Amino acid sequence: MNQDEALNILMLGHNVFLTGAAGSGKTYLLNKYIKYLKKHNVVVGITASTGIAATHMNGKTIHSWAHIGIKDVLTPSDLAQISNREDYKTKILNTKVLIIDEVSMLHDFRLDMVNQVLQKIHQNDLAFGGIQVILCGDLFQLPPVSRGQQSAKYINNSDVWQKMNLRICYLTEQHRQENNDFLRLLDEIRKNQVSDYSVKNLQARMNEEVKTDIKPTKLYTHNIDVDLINDSELDKLTTKDHLYEMKSSGDKYLVKSLTDTCLAPSELHLKKGAIVMFVQNNFTKGYVNGTLGEVIGFNKDDHYPIVKTISGKIITATPSSWKIEEGMETLAEITQVPLRLAWAITVHKSQGMTLDAAQIDLSKAFVNGMGYVALSRVKSLDGIKLLGINRRALAVDPDIAIADIDFRQNSLKVVDELKSIRPKELKKLHHKYIAEISSNLA
């Protein structure tokens, strides 16, 4: 399915699982739908499974939005407490569309808990109380965190999954990788059928330098203090230190949540010669989340950093903002230069990024999907310097590989269903749905 087809399905009001390979434009499409809804004064619940993912869309974590916290079970008392809070109740009743991004990291039982909350408040036994829900993510990417000996289960194992009457929208256009051999490798990883040909192509990048003037970011698969590594590298530079402090406004607790999850630090120290990456998309200025560069100087007027990207583009990095929005209101906002030091970054923090180049050590990969996430951040095989690899690195969950076949087939059926609707009728249906949900605030 392409993005236009998926957007048409979303605009019909169906519950949707929006999926596809890394780089297929899932979050971009979500933001496009959010903009469409807001244009028509529709209140959208914008959430994600993690704080970092939520910042990409000016949203909250689903745990915070639904007020379930880190609980594993909701008791009748918990549900009564949530539904009796008038402010929570009003917010949820006013929300006509709920979006949950990066659902690969969301436990099945937590999706069921969100369903319980919405059913209780709406007093409606339909899935999620009858509102449109869009689940977005790629189940081949980082999984929910396992607890003890218990394996974590993905959202397609939740009780509510079968009750949602989901349309699967499987995006197949690729907006990150272009190299055919690299695309073949990534696709074979997803199918759990990595060929000798692809392994050979990947191993050819072992200790091979990336042809660039800027040292590629080192991507760590294991838990390590990358801030310590970056600060250490910055200290080696003898040039003048420039400090950029984050500014904030709004609810102090939400500001703290934004600050803790935003990839731009609250205090950004930069020097000429520092390796940095942009941590936000700005297509107008010519950078995306993950664009690598080097600080080559500072603007004379306001002292903002001037960055030469790996492609040779010169960009003055001016402050940008991250928000938490609810309905039409901005609850919290932070402003900072959209950069971070980039000698090193963890795979977990790289999810959602597009990296020009990376040094990747997969010798310590310890969970299914980790190698896939690390490799799929990068645009081409030539942009990878492979430092090591183990057997686990190219593994994905076998159950997800099987489920993915079903997702693809279901998406084809949805395309056929869409094509059976005449353009004029489709437009009428879009107008009808938007008219239904753009009024009746609680």
In the prediction, which pLDDT does 367 show?
Answer: 79
> Binning pLDDT at 50, 70 and 90, where does residue 142 land?
confident
Euclidean distance between CA atoms 94 and 441, whole angstroms = 5
Q: In this model, does residue 148 exceed pLDDT 70?
A: no
In the prediction, which pLDDT does 70 show?
Answer: 81
In the prediction, which pLDDT does 147 show?
Answer: 64
The structure's pTM equals: 0.90
Q: In this model, does residue 442 exceed pLDDT 60?
A: no
Percent of the chain with pLDDT over 90: 72
In the prediction, which pLDDT does 341 show?
Answer: 97
* Region of poorest pLDDT, from 46-60, 148-162, 278-292, 346-360: 148-162
In the prediction, which pLDDT does 151 show?
Answer: 63
* 246-278 tens-digit pLDDT: 999 999 999 998 999 899 999 999 999 999 999
In the prediction, which pLDDT does 141 show?
Answer: 85
Closest by CA position to 154, among listed 168, 171, 137: 137
* 352-405 tens-digit pLDDT: 888 989 999 888 887 788 889 899 999 899 999 999 998 888 988 899 999 999
More confident residue, 304 or 148: 304
Q: In this model, does residue 238 exceed pLDDT 70?
A: yes
Tokens 């099987």, residue? 402
Q: In this model, does residue 302 exceed pLDDT 70?
A: yes
Rounded mean pLDDT, 156-177: 92
Q: In this model, does residue 149 exceed pLDDT 80?
A: no
In the prediction, which pLDDT does 144 show?
Answer: 85
Q: In this model, does residue 209 exceed pLDDT 60?
A: yes
Percent of the chain with pLDDT over 70: 98
Rounded mean pLDDT, 281-287: 91
